[in-house]
Structure 1
């Protein structure tokens, strides 16, 4: 009986650490704070949630940015509005954008060997780290 109670207690305590915890914005890693201040100048941080391996930041304008635990960006989602792209290599943005004339980038996600772009016309474009187009699909 004691063994079962001990195992249940360990399981429940492990689950408690897996949930997001709301933290103050000043507890973000310095490079994450710098990223926000540089590329989203003038937009305040609305909410910061931390879990075991990442930070989820929601800005006052609705933009969501995911950072890995070291503070490097992983995903920037404008929630259907254009996002700045100055944090990406210019040639990668240019090549991805050239496939979707007139469309704006509303989300970018860092993949293992490249990037996944989502445009406001519903297209997703996958590139390698050099900007070579790997594929695209309508979402």
Structure 2
């Protein structure tokens, strides 16, 4: 009977630790609509490329080992992710066209020539590439220098 009681105590203690750990992790993320919580470069990007758009929500992701990043959702549905330094890492305008200045000129020209009239609705900056989503569901992958690499269909 003593070992059963000890097991119950151990299980309750482990449950408490797991619950407390989950609650502690949840406080790292913060939600706001205040643009001034963003790094200066992110504020300037929003002002330049989305001057009239209202911010619906900003999620400040604070990671234990990684640096903070920012997820911005505009009222019109556009989502933009920023790094800790305020550099954009992805822009998803859903059905609207991504502002021209955010897409490198070589990529814009390639899509205009080979995109069958589709418009660029999302762009993701990866370490070695850009992933460009088109309005027809096609995703084109380009090198960081804007050279076309491949095409894939969105899942």
- Report the TM range for the smaller structure's normalisation: 0.7 to 0.9
Q: Is the 8 A contact 1:126 1:133 kept in 2?
A: yes
CA distances 1:57-107 after superposition (whole Å, capped 9, x unpaired): 111211110111211101100112212130232123222443313110010
CA RMSD of aligned residues (A): 2.1
Aligned pair 1:21/2:36, yes or no?
Answer: no
Q: Is the 8 A contact 1:92 1:129 kept in 2?
A: no
Q: In structure 2, what is the Cα distance between the partners aligned to 1:32 and 1:136? A: 30
Give ranges in structure 1 of 5+ residues lacking alignment.
none
Give ranges in structure 2 of 5+ residues lacking alignment.
1-8, 63-67
Partner of 2:43: 33
Q: TM-score, normalised by structure 2?
A: 0.77
Change (3 A) 1:111 1:127: same
CA distances 1:25-72 after superposition (whole Å, capped 9, x unpaired): 211111101001101121122211101131111112111101112111
Partner of 1:61: 76
Q: Which has the higher contact order (CA 8 A, sep 6+)?
A: 1
Aligned pair 1:119/2:134, yes or no?
Answer: yes
Q: In structure 1, what is the Cα distance between the partners aligned to 2:130 and 2:112? A: 13
Q: Secondary structure at the match of 2:102?
A: coil
Q: Secondary structure at the match of 1:130?
A: coil
Task: For 1:101-112, list aligned pairs within 5 A.
Answer: 101-112=116-127
Partner of 1:138: 153
Q: Secondary structure at the match of 1:116?
A: strand
Partner of 1:95: 110
Q: Is the 8 A contact 2:123 2:132 kept in 1?
A: yes
Give the CA deviation at 1:127.
0.3
